Amino acid sequence: MYKLYWAPGTAAMAPQAVLEEIGAAYEAVQLNLASKEHEQAGYRRLNPNGRIPTLVDGDFVIFETAAICQYLSDKHPDANLAPPLGSHARGRYYQWLTYMTNTVQVGFIDWFHPDWTFADLDSQAALKAAAEQKLYRSFQVLDDGIGGNRGMIGDQFTVCDIYLAMLTRWSRFLARPMWEGKNIRRAVGTTYVRPAFQRMMQKQGITWAEHWPRD
């Protein structure tokens, strides 16, 4: 049985949605961000960065959200959450997942937590402003990448779509949320209504509807 260390609305959304998609049994271990449980020595032995999420699979421990999602989808190929190895679609899947984690997610971290990089307030404000502009450019890249397709990887629902939905929910705090991109909005609109994604949100005690634009 897997064990997922999580906190509501964090990057643990994606691996928990993947666990729900594959129908695997798992124990969800909630960490209290306010009391900084994720920074304590016991958790740092699992995740030396003291970040959420972490997955434990027997005596194997893995951190980094995108890595956990890929590990789980590879272990459960029947769930069909990744294109076939060696296919162009698989290459595209790597491209978008890498872009979302190493560019977009990092942009969100700079926007939400400029204090993780700079101590002084002026530098924090400058980083946040720059991150926001970079995020808007990356939202456009994602929207153009989806184009007229159903989701990020053609018609196939993959881990990339789950990741995109997670990032989109985070963007609700920005002046121009990701759903302003019509292709992102269409793609994510088909993800957050999935029963697995809904179960993840229900288990995390988080919502979607009030953040989503009304037509």
Ligand X SMILES: N[C@@H](CCC(=O)N[C@@H](CS)C(=O)NCC(=O)O)C(=O)O
Binding site for ligand X (CB under 6 A): 10-11, 33, 38, 51-52, 63-65, 101, 105, 109
Instruction: Compute the least distance from the CB of residue 200 to ligand X, in Å.
Output: 14
At 178, the amino acid letter reads M
Q: Which is nearer to ligand X, 15 or 177 (CB)?
A: 15
Cα separation, 211 vs 38, in Å, equals 27
Instruction: Compute the least distance from the CB of residue 74 to ligand X, in Å.
Output: 17
Q: Which is nearer to ligand X, 105 or 138 (CB)?
A: 105
Instruction: Compute the least distance from the CB of residue 89 to ligand X, in Å.
Output: 23
Q: Which is nearer to ligand X, 10 or 183 (CB)?
A: 10
Q: Which is nearer to ligand X, 33 or 89 (CB)?
A: 33
The number of beta carbons lying within 10 Å of the beta carbon of residue 88 is: 11
Instruction: Compute the least distance from the CB of residue 101 to ligand X, in Å.
Output: 6
Give the Cα-Cα-Cα angle 190, 196, 201 (nearest 5 degrees). 90
SS3 140: helix
SS3 174: coil
Phi, psi of 10 (to 5 degrees): -90, -170
Instruction: Compute the least distance from the CB of residue 160 to ligand X, in Å.
Output: 14
Cα separation, 117 vs 177, in Å, equals 24
Round to the nearest angstrom and report the end-to-end CA distance of the chain.
42
In angstroms and rounded to an integer, the radius of gyration of the C-alpha atoms of the chain is 17
Cα separation, 183 vs 185, in Å, equals 5
Q: Which is nearer to ligand X, 82 or 183 (CB)?
A: 82
Instruction: Compute the least distance from the CB of residue 129 to ligand X, in Å.
Output: 20
Q: Which is nearer to ligand X, 8 or 91 (CB)?
A: 8
- Locus of tokens 């990057």: 11
